[in-house]
A and B are shown apart, each in its own frame.
Chain A
Amino acid sequence: MKNKSILKNFSDEQIVDLVIKDKEMFGVIIDRYEKRLKNYLLYLTKDKEKINDIVQNTFIKAYVNLNSFNKKMKFSSWIFRIAHNEAINLLKKESFFKPLNFNLFINLKDNKNDAEEILNEETKIMVKKCLDQLTFDYREIVVLYYFEEKSYEEISDILRISVSNVGVKLNRAKKKLKKICQNIS
């Protein structure tokens, strides 16, 4: 396996090319996405045990189908799409997406000292509390946009809906979220 510091400069798409030649390079993909996928799923679910299973299945499916990855698309959108599908499958199986446990998010704070960042984190925690009340599809779009900082185009690729539809759904979600937050506060 190549030196880790060299690999830092490689894009995900370049890593994918390397994985095709050397399967052990898939570890780099896991390093880059394991935490991000877990956080994303944590916003949507509350069962930590199941989250590990979903993330593992996501990586397995990504590896098995790596040759189907379209390089015109962003790799992060592609892998988030797989995680989304896995989560939906579980939802269908056992109505898994129960309301969130707010306490789960307490440990998610980063070690940022800047006052503005702390304020942002506080806002985020408040929003997370309100997210609990949103339905799954609205919650997911808010998480992707605000927490995962995905663009409309990327969200469109992950959820397989048109970009205009992303805008419409996000607006609706924001309105609902605002209403919920006002009620809570």
Chain B
Amino acid sequence: MKKQTVKKEVLRKIKTGEIKMKPKWFFVLGSILSIFGLIGSFVFTAFIINLIIFILKPHYGPNYPLRLNLILNNFPWWILILSFISLISGIFFLKKFDFSYKKNSSFVFLVIIVSIIISAIFFNQLGINELFMKKGPRFMRRFYREMQLKNIPNFRKQKFNQF
């Protein structure tokens, strides 16, 4: 491309409609979706971490090492991968916002991790697992039932206590 043609070429494309300005609503919608994506990813990650805490919750007493071994043997590792993917997607959405780079990135990351863990503990204390086990969507109830069938002690305990 020769010098001095950049302006001509760009204006030609604008005038002929070859390039069009995206409307304002397109970006507003994008921002709204990003906010939902950000909140959704972090809530989902917190929920999965809550689930992991629930599964790993220690039950001291007779045969404790055996119980722990059983938990680890039957641990659904895919939920760890799922929580990781969810966290990454949350960070992807976060990076879309200007404030993400204005702050120290390691500080932002630390705040996210700490708030996710606190939310997960909060979910756990709130008894969200018991609620999902009883009244949750079908796929969630199925998940908890599968955990019971795998004889994971925490789920067995729930079974005897709750049902």
Q: How many residues of B contact A (CB 8 A)?
A: 27
Known A52-B1, A162-B101; judge A63-B14 contact (CB<8 A): yes
Which residues from A are CB-within-8-Å of B5?
A: 52
Q: How many residues of A contact B (CB 8 A)?
A: 31
Known A34-B6, A162-B104; judge A64-B98 contact (CB<8 A): no
Known A156-B101, A162-B105; judge A65-B22 contact (CB<8 A): yes
CA distance A30 to B9 in the complex (A): 11
Asked whether, in the complex, the Cβ of B21 is within 8 Å of the Cβ of A63, the reply is yes
As a 0/1 sequence over residues 26 to 42 of chain A, the CB contacts with chain B under 8 angstroms (1 = contact) are: 11001100100000000
Q: Give the contacts of A48-101 with B (CB-CB under 8 A).
A: 49, 52-53, 55-56, 59-60, 63-68, 70, 73
CA distance A67 to B20 in the complex (A): 11
Closest to A69 in B: B27
Asked whether, in the complex, the Cβ of A66 is within 8 Å of the Cβ of B21, the reply is yes
Interface of A is mostly: helix
CA distance A60 to B103 in the complex (A): 30
Closest to B20 in A: A64
The residue from B1, B23, B27, B102 contacting A163, defined by CB atoms under 8 A apart: B102
Which residues from B are CB-within-8-Å of A163?
A: 102
Binding site for B on A (CB under 8 A): 20, 23-24, 26-27, 30-31, 34, 49, 52-53, 55-56, 59-60, 63-68, 70, 73, 156-157, 160-165
- The 10 A-B residue pairs whose C-beta atoms are closest, nearest first, are A160-B101, A68-B27, A52-B1, A30-B7, A67-B24, A59-B10, A56-B6, A23-B14, A162-B104, A66-B21
